[in-house]
Structure 1
Amino acid sequence: MRMKRFLYRWLVVVLFTTSVCCTVAAEAAEATRPNIIYINADDLGVMDVGFQSERYRTPNLDRLRADGMLFTNAYAPAANCAPSRACVLSGQYGPRHGVYTVGSSQRGKSQDRKLIPTPNTQLLAPDNLTIAGALKDAGYRTIHLGKWHLGPDPTKQGFDVNIGGDTSGGPSGGGYFSPFDRGPMRRFSDQYPAGTHRVDIFSDQAIRFMREQQSHPFFMHMAYYSVHTKLQPVPGLVEKYQGVDGVHAAYASMIEKMDQGIGKILTELDNLGLAENTLVLFGSDNGGIRDISAQDPYRSGKGSYFEGGIRVPMVVRWPGKVAAGSACDVPVIGIDLFPTFLEAAGVSLPEGKQLDGTSLLPVLTQSGGLPQRALYWHFPVYLQSYAGVGDDSHDPLFRTRPGSAMRLGKWKLHEYFEDGRIELYDLEAGTGERQNLAASFPEKASQLHAMLTQWREQLGAPRPTQPNPEYVSPAATEPAKARQKQKRNRRKKTTS
Structure 2
Amino acid sequence: MKRLISSLILTSGLFSLSSLLIQASPADDRKGVQASTADDRKGAQAVTPPNIIYINIDDLGWADLGYNGSTFYETPNIDRFASQSMNFTNGYAPAANCAPSRACCLTGQWTPRHGVYTVNNSDRGKASTRKLIPTKNTLHISNDNPTIGDALKAGGYHTATMGKWHVTKDPLKNGFDINIGGTQAGGPYNGGYHSPFKYPNLEEKEPGVYLTDRLTDEAIRYVSDTSKRPFFLYLPYFAIHTPIQGKKEKIEHFKKKIKPGSGQKNPEYAAMISSLDDNIGRLMKTLDEQGLSDNTLVIFTSDNGGVYKLSQQKPLRAGKGAYYEGGIREPFLIRWPAKVKAGKNPTPVVGIDFFPTLLDAAKVKPPKGKVLDGLSLLPELTGSGKLASRALYWHFPIYLQGGNSDCQDGIFRTRPGSAIRHGDWKLIEYFENGDLELYNLAKDEGEQKNLASSHPEKTQELLGMLKSWRKQTKAPVPSQLNPKFKP
User: Which TM-score band (shorter chain)?
Assistant: 0.7 to 0.9
In structure 1, the partner of 2:5 is none
Choose from 131, 136, 150 the match for 2:153: 136
Structure 1 distance, partners of 2:367, 2:142, is 17
* 1:208 correspondence with 2:208: no
Structure 2 distance, partners of 1:29, 1:215, is 16
Q: Which amino acid aligns with 1:79?
A: A
The one-character-per-residue Cα deviations of 1:467-489 (angstroms, maximum 9, x if unpaired) are 0011001xxxxxxxxxxxxxxxx
Q: Which amino acid aligns with 2:60?
A: L
Choose from 290, 307, 318 the match for 1:300: 318
The one-character-per-residue Cα deviations of 1:190-228 (angstroms, maximum 9, x if unpaired) are 4xx412111111111111111224661000111111111
The one-character-per-residue Cα deviations of 1:247-266 (angstroms, maximum 9, x if unpaired) are 21001110010111111111
Any runs of at least 4 consecutive aligned residues in structure 1 with deviations exceeding 4 A, and if so which?
28-31
Structure 2 distance, partners of 1:219, 1:59, is 26
In structure 1, the partner of 2:230 is 217
Choose from 211, 225, 240 the match for 2:253: 240
* 1:249 correspondence with 2:267: yes
Structure 1 distance, partners of 2:46, 2:381, is 22
Choose from 56, 80, 85 the match for 2:73: 56
SS in 1 for 2:219: helix
Task: Answer yes or no: is the 8 Å Cα contact 2:55–2:298 preserved in 1.
Answer: yes
Task: Answer yes or no: is the 8 Å Cα contact 2:45–2:294 preserved in 1.
Answer: no
Structure 2 distance, partners of 1:465, 1:219, is 43
Q: Which amino acid aligns with 1:460?
A: K
Tell me how far 1:291 sits from its aligned partner. 1.5
Task: Answer yes or no: is the 8 Å Cα contact 1:30–1:217 preserved in 2.
Answer: no
* 1:378 correspondence with 2:392: no
In structure 1, the partner of 2:211 is 198
Choose from 189, 192, 203 the match for 1:188: 203
In structure 1, the partner of 2:290 is 272
Structure 1 distance, partners of 2:199, 2:305, is 27
Choose from 241, 253, 256 the match for 1:228: 241
In structure 2, the partner of 1:104 is 121
In structure 2, the partner of 1:113 is 130
In structure 2, the partner of 1:421 is 435
In structure 2, the partner of 1:40 is 56
Choose from 170, 190, 204 the match for 1:153: 170
Choose from 472, 479, 493 the match for 2:486: 472
Task: Answer yes or no: is the 8 Å Cα contact 1:414–1:424 preserved in 2.
Answer: yes
Task: Answer yes or no: is the 8 Å Cα contact 1:148–1:168 preserved in 2.
Answer: yes
Tell me how far 1:30 sits from its aligned partner. 11
Structure 2 distance, partners of 1:48, 1:418, is 33
* 1:407 correspondence with 2:421: yes
SS in 2 for 1:51: helix
Task: Answer yes or no: is the 8 Å Cα contact 1:42–1:223 preserved in 2.
Answer: yes
Change (3 A) 1:229 1:418: same
Q: Provide structure 2 residue ranges, at least 5 long, that are not aligned to the other structure.
A: 1-43
Q: Which amino acid aligns with 1:113?
A: R
Q: Which amino acid aligns with 2:146?
A: L
Task: Answer yes or no: is the 8 Å Cα contact 1:31–1:216 preserved in 2.
Answer: no
SS in 2 for 1:125: coil
* 1:71 correspondence with 2:84: no
Change (3 A) 1:139 1:430: same
Identity %: 53
Q: Which amino acid aligns with 2:222?
A: F
Point out the structure with max Rg over C-alpha.
1
Q: Provide structure 1 residue ranges, at least 5 long, that are not aligned to the other structure.
A: 1-27, 474-496
In structure 1, the partner of 2:278 is 260
Choose from 371, 377, 388 the match for 1:360: 377
Task: Answer yes or no: is the 8 Å Cα contact 1:385–1:391 preserved in 2.
Answer: no
In structure 2, the partner of 1:12 is none
In structure 2, the partner of 1:437 is 451
Structure 2 distance, partners of 1:213, 1:472, is 63
Structure 2 distance, partners of 1:259, 1:422, is 39
Tell me how far 1:236 sits from its aligned partner. 2.2
Tell me how far 1:229 sits from its aligned partner. 1.1
Choose from 338, 354, 357 the match for 2:355: 338
Q: Which amino acid aligns with 1:188?
A: E
Task: Answer yes or no: is the 8 Å Cα contact 2:55–2:234 preserved in 1.
Answer: yes
SS in 2 for 1:250: helix
Structure 1 distance, partners of 2:477, 2:123, is 15
In structure 1, the partner of 2:468 is 454
Structure 1 distance, partners of 2:358, 2:93, is 17
| CA-atom RMSD in angstroms | 1.6
Structure 1 distance, partners of 2:232, 2:226, is 10
Alignment coverage as a number of residue pairs: 439
Task: Answer yes or no: is the 8 Å Cα contact 1:138–1:347 preserved in 2.
Answer: yes
In structure 1, the partner of 2:112 is 95
Bigger share in helix = 1
Aligned residue runs from structure 1 range 280-299, under 5 A: 280-299=298-317
Tell me how far 1:391 sits from its aligned partner. 4.7
Tell me how far 1:151 sits from its aligned partner. 1.3
